[in-house]
Structures are given as C-alpha cells and as structure tokens.
C-alpha cells in the first residue's frame, strides 16, 4: 500500500515537472523562436536544473517531437470519434455540435501550444505533416470509397483551412456559418 502511494506521488511529480518544462518551452518558442531556445533557457524558465530536464527529455528536439506526437495523438482521437459518429449516420451539423467541446479544448485552449509547435520544423516530422498524415488515415475510414489523390488533397486542404481558421480566430463558427459555407462551396462546384 505504501509503495503504491509513493509511486503515485512520483508519477504526479513527474507529470508536474513535464508540464512545467512544456509550458516553459512553449513560451520561449513563441518569444524567441525554436532555434534560439536552449535547454538552459527551458530549465531556467521552468525553475528546474538541467539534470531534471535530461531525466525527462534527451534534448529540445526530443521535447518538440514528443509534444507534436502527443498533440497529434489527441487530434487523432477526435477524428476517430468523428468517424464513429459518421458510422452512426449522424449528419454533419449534429456531429459538429457533438464534437464542439472536444474541438474547442483541442484547438482553442491549446492555441499557444499549437502556434509554438507549428513554427518548429524538425527533420523527422513537423506538426503540419503529422496532422496531414492523421487526416489522410482517418478520411479513408470516414468515407465509403477511398478518395483518390485529388480528392484527398482537396479534403485535407479544406480541413486544414478550418483548423487554421479556428486557431487564428479562436472561436468555433456557429451552425448557420457552417451551413452558409457549405452552400457557398456547393454553389462554386455546381
């Protein structure tokens, strides 16, 4: 019993430390740019020593990659939830209203994090390419037919445009705005 409580406290301390590191990293990247941020800067801002940082991450690149992967994993969960609602024959507007709290939490409440991660270009991955990858994977399961390259490009661009709108405007469009946008798109295509 005592060992479990001690392990729980260690887990909580680790999570709190990682949260401090991540929040400090986000602020520094937003202020100085990723290339100008050092582990020393992150450690000082988080009020920890470098050894503590290195217990959690190999370097700032590892931290950035982990944060990108964590965000993309959460985004993937929302897309899978959307896919499941689609399979339940929910219409687009009802799906949108059901997912609104998840979308708001994901995109608007984590805006600073997204803006910081969006500015980071890593050799192995970046936020935009990872979001596109997850979108492509989920679109295949959402649609009855596998979209061809052109359709996939069009759909991912539309969704990424919506994603960027939500980040930039910091608000979800209401259902009348969504309906109007769909009408405009259909008019353009007819």
Every domain of the chain and the residues it spans: 1-57, 59-190
Contacts 24+ apart (CB under 8 A), 25-29: 25/60, 25/63, 25/64, 25/67, 25/116, 26/112, 26/113, 26/116, 27/112, 29/116, 29/119, 29/120
Question: Which is nearest to 53 in space by CA: 20, 6, 8?
Answer: 20
pLDDT reported for residue 3: 63
Q: What is the pLDDT of residues 156-175, one digit of tens each?
A: 998 898 888 889 988 888 87
The answer to whether 29 touches 120, Cβ cutoff 8 Å, is yes
Domain 1-57: give its CATH architecture: Orthogonal Bundle (1.10)
Query: With b meaning 16 or more CB within 10 Å and e meaning fewer, what string describes 56-68?
Result: bbeebeebbbebb
- Give the integer Cα–Cα distance in Å for 135 and 144: 15
What are the two backbone dihedrals, phi and then psi, of residue 121, each rounded to the nearest 5 degrees?
-110, 110
Q: What is the pLDDT of residues 99-154, one digit of tens each?
A: 888 888 888 889 999 999 999 998 878 999 999 999 999 988 888 788 899 989 98
pTM: 0.86
């Amino acid at each position: 019993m005592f060992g479990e409580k001690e392990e729980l406290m260690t887990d909580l301390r680790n999570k709190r430390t990682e949260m401090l590191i991540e929040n400090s990293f986000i602020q520094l990247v937003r202020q100085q740019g990723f290339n100008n941020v050092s582990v020393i800067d992150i450690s000082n801002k988080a009020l920890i020593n470098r050894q503590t940082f290195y217990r959690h991450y190999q370097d700032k690149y590892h931290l950035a990659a982990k944060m990108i992967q964590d965000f993309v994993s959460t985004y993937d969960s929302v897309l899978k939830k959307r896919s499941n609602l689609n399979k339940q024959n929910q219409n687009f507007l009802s799906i949108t209203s059901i997912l609104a709290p998840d979308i708001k939490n994901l995109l608007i409440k984590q805006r600073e994090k997204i803006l910081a991660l969006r500015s980071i270009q890593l050799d192995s991955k970046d936020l935009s390419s990872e979001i596109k990858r997850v979108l492509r994977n989920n679109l295949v399961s959402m649609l009855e037919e596998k979209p061809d390259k052109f359709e996939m490009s069009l759909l991912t661009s539309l969704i990424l445009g919506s994603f960027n709108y939500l980040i930039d405007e910091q608000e979800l469009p209401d259902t009348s705005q969504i309906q109007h946008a769909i009408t405009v798109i259909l008019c353009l295509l007819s």
